[in-house]
Each structure stands twice: as C-alpha cells, then as structure tokens.
Chain A
C-alpha cells in the first residue's frame, strides 16, 4: 500500500531510475568523501612526522602528491554535486562507473606512481571551464527544472478521458479551464482574423497603439477609474511574468529586494530572480486568529512596518512592495481602506508598489465588490504605483501570452518598453486581443456571467468535498483556487512531511501546489485549483480522497508503532 516505507529517504514520487541515480550519486559522494578523509588523514600524518623523515625531498614530493590527490577528489565531489543538482529530468553524460573508477585510480597512483600534480589539476579545472553553460546558465537551468519538473512531467503525461485516463490531472497550475468553449467560439469569429501589413511588420515595442488604447479603455471601465486611463501609460508584453521581470530590472539593482506578504504566488519570486536578481522578502502572515490578527492571514501595516524594519536591519535594500489583489492563493480581496493603508505605508518609506490584479474579473460572488487600485480617487504616490493585469486568468487564455502594465510614471513606462522587443507579442495576436477586449457587450452579457456561474459551481463542489473530509480551508469567493489546511495529515507537521504528502499526490497522478511553494511560513497548507471541468474535477477529487485515506492509514500505523514502542 505505502510506497513510502520502501527505501531510503528519497521522496517516493520520483521514478525508479531517478531514485537509482540519486542513490548512486549519493553513494559516490560518500565514497569520495571517505577517500578525502583518508587522504587528509595521511596528509596530516606525513606533515606531523616531518622530523622523522630522512629525505626531505621525497617528503616534499609526497606532500605534492597528496595535495594533487586532495584537489582532485574535491573536484570530483563538486562535479558529483553539480551533476546531482542539475540532473533534473535528463540523465547526465557523467557516468557513475567512470568517476568511481577515477577515484580508485587516484588511490592507486598515490601508492604506485608519481603523478604530476599540475596536469591533474588542470584536468579538473578543464571539466569546469569546458562546461558549455555559463554559471548563471547552469543556475537558471537548475532553478527552472527544480521548480517546474513536475509541471513538465504533467505536460508529457496529461490526463485525457479516452486516450490517457491514467495521466496527470493538474490542480496545481492556476488556469481557468471552465470557459474554453466560449473562448474558442469567440476566437473563431470573423472579426478575429485579420492580417494587415502593419501587423506583420516591426511593431511599436510598447504594444500596438490600437491595443494600448483598447487596454486603457478596458481598464477604465472594469477598474472603474474615476478618469479615463491614458494609453500612453500602458505597456503590453507577452505575459505578466515578463512585465514583472522588466519591472524588477528597472526598479531595482541586483541584490535589492521587494517586500511581499506571504503566502504568495511563487512564480513572481522566480521572475524577479531569474534575470533581474532581485530578492523577495516575505512578510509572513499567520493563520491563527489573535487580537491583532482578526482573520487568518490578515495583512496589517504593523506587519509591513516590522518586516521592513527587520529587512533593513539585515542590510537589505527594499525598493518596493508587491501585492496581489484578489490575493493568490488566499482569495482575499483588500477593502479600499486597507488598500489605502498599504499604499500610504509604501509612500511613507518611498517604496514602489506593484499591484497584480490579474484575478480582478474572477470574483464569482456577486455580493462582493472588488476595488481596483485604479478606482481610487487619488493615489498616495501615483508615480510609484504600478498595476499589472493580463488575460491569462480572467479569460482563461494563458497560452495567449499577454500581460499589461499600467503606470502613471512615464519614466517607468518608457523604460519598460525597452524590454518590448524581448517580450513582444505577435501582431496577429495583438489584433485578436484588441477585438476580445473591445467587445464589452459579449464580456458583460455572455462571458462574465457564465464564467462566474461555472467558477461558483466548481467552487461549491470542491468545498463540499472538503467539508465532508473535515478539511479546514480559506473560504473566499474569488480566484481559481482554495487554500486548504492538511496539517492533520502530517505527523510531525514539518515541510518535509508536506513535501512527502505532495509527492504522494503526485504518485496518484494529481498535481497540487504545496504551501512551501507559496513561501508560507506554516507547513501543511496546500493550494487547490478548482477551475477545471467537472468530470476531471470529480476524478481529481477522488484521487485526492484516496491519497488522504492512504495517508491517514499510514498515520494510524505510525502512531500504533510509536505506542507499542513506549
């Protein structure tokens, strides 16, 4: 039943071959370390017994040999560690036999021959220098594959009702799959297909003027801006992560940081780090209700002040604050009052505020009003307030690659557009987006009501299941996700156990996101994306229940064993 009891402290979700490879790297490492220890010991013995040696020259020779061997062993270790770190999905050319052979060879030469330390050293160096990637290239690859390997596994083995009924169901990636039918239909209408000369030629890198005008109109209307928004303040790029990456580049220097209340969508951490080398400093929110925490994960100005103070104490240069509204993964919507307080806090400290409102039209309880930051009569610091929106979530077209920046700061708008040619959108796509956004009648009368209804139904279905399982969750009515608490299935309640549970979901071909990925301080939280078609959602929830049942059985067995031991 449980695969966890099988072997080693290796997460059980990995494939067998990977486990084996990890194992072999692990043993290789141990082996190399052992040799290293041995050699060092001998090295010291020789150094200590220096006076006892008759021939000084031979002694020096021996020490050189030892040093050469030491450095080679170190090199091998680093190589092994690197191959382990970057191995991700694809097997590395480095073969375990080879390196192990090398170690033995090294040991042998030390006894028999007289190896020249210089060529050996350069051999080792050569393995680094001739690596095809730059160091940062290696880092980027490693970071990417560690963050997205499960997503990539899903891409290769997607669930399909008939063709692949045993494939992965993804409740971990925030995508709205509920209205694909409406979108597909809309996108096939005749106004969508336009091929004009200007669409095929080099564009205005800020985005085609017609699209920026439409985005300004769209945001004026749906954000209820008190005055018409200006197309000149709009920059259009291929996705919100590109917007975020460009903003991080132009607002921060490498090593500087943004504050961000957590739990928080981890993709942004990735975006700020990858190119821009900007750090995100968490403002940890807590689930427990206390005198100052009137509801779970409440964001207060005091917490912001405290986090800022602490970060500055540690010598961090904080340049801004990142907010998501509606919040991802909590689904919280900030009231105009609290929003104002956060903005005033930022102004007090000369911080930029990047507000991601990418879920603004995914509020599915009509009694709740969303207040965009663009709806405010006056912004405390308009030149430092930057709004991000895209169609990926609200229109469920993440494959379109569209993200927009709205900022009153002309300087920022102009310099972000310098990144336009690296993050540009096809002219043909820009036309489609423009047509989509301008048809407010279809959006208001057809798309939004249907989308809200379907989101509500899916949410109702999932939360009913959660209630039946007595799983606590953050009950909100916006976004595509529920933030759920699986602490009771973890014993002890640690991030390692959280990871193991995550792996167990994966073993059952269910992809979820765990709290750690959202930089949550408390282990045991998961984010579940419910915006999927009902048949898939049903099957996913069945797998979900199975996993938790299995986990519960394990816990019982474990507790019994513990009791027996006592």
Chain B
C-alpha cells in the first residue's frame, strides 16, 4: 500500500499542475500540449523514480501514467481511512474523520425533506437528453434562490446559470475555457488544496500562490473562497471590492467560490455575497460558484452551479456540460428543494446553524482547555488550529509526523501543507460531525497531544526511513484527493 512513497524519489514540490507544465512555453496550441506531455514522460524518471513511469509494460499513455501516479498517492491515504472507518458498533476503534469537510449534522432533516412526495416526481423529459446547461426549471429556481440568499440588488437571470455535477467539475470547466495549458490562477493561501487537482486534470492549469508573474507563468485569474476555507474568514464588502478592483486592474478573471455562504452560523458575522454588490468592477470577468455540497450537507448529490454575466463563458462551460451532467430526476429534486423557502428558512437553516454552533463551541472549548491557539470564526465547518508549539523544530517534516501520529491514533485531520500554508504546524479540524464521533475524535487528539496515545511516540519505522522532503507532496495529494468514503449501503 505504501509502495510508492517508500521509493526514494523526490516528488515535485507542488501538485500535478506545475509538473505538467513547467516546461511549457507560453504559446498556445494543441501540438504544444502534446509536446509537453512527451517531455514530461522523459523528464519524470529523472526527477524521481516512480515505478509506473519507468515501466515498459504499462498500458497507459504518458499522461495516463502521470495521472495514475498521483492518483495512487491519493488512494493510499484514501484507503487507509476507507479500510478502517469508524463505526460505533461494528468498528469502534476505526478512524474518525475530522479531515474531510462535510456537514454530517443535518442528515435527519435532509432525509425527511428528500423523502417527501414532491421529490418523487418522474416525467419523460427528465429521463431524456436535457438542455446541457441544466433544465430550465432548475436554472430558474437557482436564479431565484441566489437572488434571495445572496441579496442581489437586481433579480438574477436563469440564462446566466449553468448547472454541473459538482464544484470540482465547475473548476475544471472554468480552467479549461479561461486558460491555456500552463497558465495559472492566483490564489491566496492557505486554501482548499483540492482545487489544484480540479484545474489540472483536464485543464492542465496551475495555481500561483503569491506573485502575479511567479516563475514566468501567465496568470489569468484569481480564485477567492468566501467564506474562506480553511480559515473560515468572511470578507467584508470593502475587502471584496478591493480584490475585485485589483483583478480588474490586471484584467484578471475572478472565480468566487461561495460554497459555504449559508454556513455562517454566527449571527454577528455579516456575510456579503459578491452578487450583493451594487456594482461589480468587472462583471464580465466575475464568475460565482455555489453548490449544495456544503450548505445543504449533500456532497454526494453532485450539484453545483455557475453564475456569470459573461455569455461567452457561460456558453463555453455549457459546451462541456455533456460531460458533467446530472440526472434529470436529481435536477427536479434540487429545484423542489431550493424552492421550498419556508423549510429552508424556518426549519433547515436555524437548526443547521444551531448545530454547527454547538459543535464549534465544543471543539473550541476542548482546544482552549488544551491551551491551543486557533482562529475562531463563525463560518464554515472547520477550525484552523495552531499546533506549532508541538513542533520543536517547526518544520513541515514534524508537521507530517504529528499528522501521522494522529492517524495512528485513529483520527484523520488535515495539515497545513495541504493548504499550501507557509508556516508549518497548522491543522484544520472539521467539527461538523455527530457529537459522539466528535467527542471520540477530540479525545484521540488530546491523547496524542498530551502524549497519552496508545501508539508509540515514535512514528512507524517504515515512515522514519522516508526522506523527509518526499512526504509533503505525497501527503498533500492524499489530502487533496481524500474525501470521506461512504459506508457500504445495506441492500434489502
């Protein structure tokens, strides 16, 4: 299972993107893309020694081998959790997942709502090839929904809405239609690391962390996440305006990911959607994303939406929707859900916020009791925790080892490196889980931090042999790719 990371190779320091593209000229064109991949093939064995890449017996293309290499790294972490998932009855000593950002607090409400009779509608047009932008009835509902919850000064228009099967697909499609191969988006760090994969897999677009012209890469846009992940920060209108003006000055597209917009559980925090601004500095280059994965705790439903006034962008994204479509029946259910303003306002949101707040309070108090500093915000599903005092030398290797110790003590967290955080020692704790799991998870965290964990203090021997700089990217990928695997469903 750990075969790959144990090979003595140096993984590229960031993700798939930079590696694929580091040799790219800035010119465009299909054949260049081909050239890039070929170069990559020759280059990688030199960079390290990934087994697959040097194997002559592989059935895959060179980009296929590349994707597999990264995917296997991701799978490694994925399987660790998957094979040993915590279950109160069946596997009480299994791993608790406080690493994946999912809201598991409101399943009862959701399942009740989704089981109501209005959700079971079936009609021929839902079973046939759709309008690839999403059924009109759904796009109308999305426009109304966003108008209301984003407090848009004018009604938003259904023709500016494109519906896809998830935020990942949307990032991928936007990267493809806005950037050439090898170009980049600017993104403030720490950020939700999976975006790196989303923009790279098909799009071959990379992320630039700080500077506009970093490493001679052409920056095409800026990605903002609001509320921010992992910080939980909410941008004020002034800040938002400032970022947008900056982007306009540099002719950058801005992708605003507002996937946590209804998960602001602290009433004192005023959330402002970019769609609520009276005037956007550059409406043609401002593209808003929203999805039900987080705010409605349904990451398995695969529903995301783009809102952009730019017809060309909407059209281009819609051209890719054939590959990122979702079932007509689910589209119908989503329309029903978004339309039910009474249920959302009176049942779901108050309850969801109350539960998020309670869970947040519990974890914050636990942390305070341990004397651990953290960023306390009133939005999102996570707390950004400062564990620097547990790293004597303050290196990423130690961060990694600490993360391993948590995992060995059966609690999965996300570490700062996965978010491209500059300082070693930060961790993201996801708190939006059921109380019993959360309590157990925190207990295991405490055991590790107070040195009372069941496992040996020393990390696994096989892991100590690892060259120190390899794990960062391996683990980074692990986290990028690791969503919470499902429990097998009982068939009846």
Contacts and interface: CB of A to CB of B under 8 A. Distances in A.
B49 interface: no
B452 interface: no
Contacts of B139: none
B484 A201 contact: yes
B328 A208 contact: no
A199 B127 contact: no
A239 interface: yes
Given A132-B284, A210-B489, A188 B122 contact: yes
Nearest to B40: A253
Given A134-B183, A201-B104, A274 B316 contact: no
B127 A134 contact: no
Contact of B298 (A200, A414, A429): A200
B300 A210 contact: no
Interface in B184-219: 198, 201-202
B77 interface: no
A238 B331 CA distance: 14
A28 interface: no
A560 B389 CA distance: 96
Interface residues of A, number: 91
A173 interface: yes
A260 interface: no
Contacts of B316: 133, 137-138, 140-141
A418 B201 contact: yes
A344 B480 CA distance: 41
Given A130-B251, A419-B201, A253 B61 contact: yes
Nearest to A155: B131
Interface in A422-454: 422-429, 431-432, 434, 438
Nearest to A176: B128
Given A399-B130, A426-B300, A193 B71 contact: no
Given A133-B177, A143-B319, A352 B59 contact: yes
A514 interface: no
B30 A255 contact: yes
B323 A428 contact: no
B268 interface: no
Nearest to A421: B168
Given A398-B129, A411-B58, A239 B325 contact: yes
Interface string A208-226: 1110000000000000000
B315 A426 contact: no
B68 A415 contact: yes
B156 to A, nearest CB: 19
A193 B119 contact: yes
Given A132-B284, A250-B64, A423-B323, A200 B299 contact: yes
B278 interface: no
Contact of A184 (B31, B52, B127): B127
B169 interface: yes
Interface in B142-189: 165-166, 168-169, 172, 176-181, 183
Contacts of A271: 323
Nearest to A210: B489
A319 interface: yes
A197 interface: yes
Contacts of B123: 184
A401 B61 contact: no
Contact of A132 (B253, B324, B488, B491): B253
A105 interface: no
A175 B129 contact: yes
Nearest to B328: A399
Given A134-B180, A180-B124, A397-B127, A428 B63 contact: no
Interface string B445-479: 00000000000000000000000000000000000
A263 to B, nearest CB: 21
Contact of B201 (A90, A173, A383, A422): A422
Contacts of A422: 166, 168-169, 172, 198, 201-202, 323-324
Contacts of B61: 249-253, 256, 319
Nearest to B333: A428
A210 B68 contact: no
Contacts of A197: 104, 107, 111, 487
Nearest to A184: B122
B129 A180 contact: no
B220 interface: yes
B166 A429 contact: no
A415 B165 contact: no
Contacts of B176: 134, 136-137, 140, 275
A253 B20 CA distance: 13
Interface string B274-314: 00000000001100000000000111111100000011110
A250 B489 contact: no
Contact of B68 (A195, A241, A250, A402): A250
For the side of the interface on B, what is the size category?
A: 35 or more
Given A188-B120, A415-B64, A132 B128 contact: no
A249 B71 CA distance: 14
A412 B71 CA distance: 12
Most buried by B among A130, A184, A275: A275
Contacts of B220: 134
Given A177-B124, A203-B486, A254 B327 contact: no
A164 B326 CA distance: 27
A428 to B, nearest CB: 6
Contacts of A34: none
A252 B37 CA distance: 11
A238 B325 CA distance: 7
B489 A254 contact: no
A335 B214 CA distance: 59
Contacts of A195: 110-111, 114-115
A498 B165 CA distance: 38
Candidate in A188, A197, A251, A255 with the most chain B CB atoms within 10 angstroms: A197
A536 B132 CA distance: 24
Contacts of B166: 421-422, 424
Contacts of A187: 122, 127, 329
B202 A383 contact: no
B300 A141 contact: no
A106 interface: no
A503 interface: no
A538 B328 CA distance: 28
A399 B327 contact: yes
Nearest to B334: A426
Contacts of A402: 327
Interface string A267-292: 00001001101000000000000000
Interface string A170-197: 0001010100100110011000110111
A242 interface: yes
Contacts of B326: 238, 401, 425-426, 429
A428 B333 CA distance: 10
Interface string B73-102: 011000000100000000000000000101
A398 B59 contact: no
Contact of B301 (A183, A200, A417): A200
Contacts of B325: 238-239, 401
Contacts of B181: 136
Given A137-B313, A238-B324, A423-B165, 16 more contacts: A88-B315, A90-B311, A134-B28, A143-B319, A175-B128, A183-B127, A200-B298, A210-B488, A241-B323, A245-B323, A399-B328, A414-B72, A414-B75, A415-B64, A417-B71, A428-B329
22 contacts: A88-B315, A90-B315, A143-B319, A177-B124, A177-B128, A183-B122, A201-B102, A202-B483, A202-B484, A249-B202, A250-B64, A252-B61, A254-B37, A274-B323, A398-B127, A399-B130, A400-B327, A401-B326, A401-B327, A415-B71, A425-B165, A431-B489
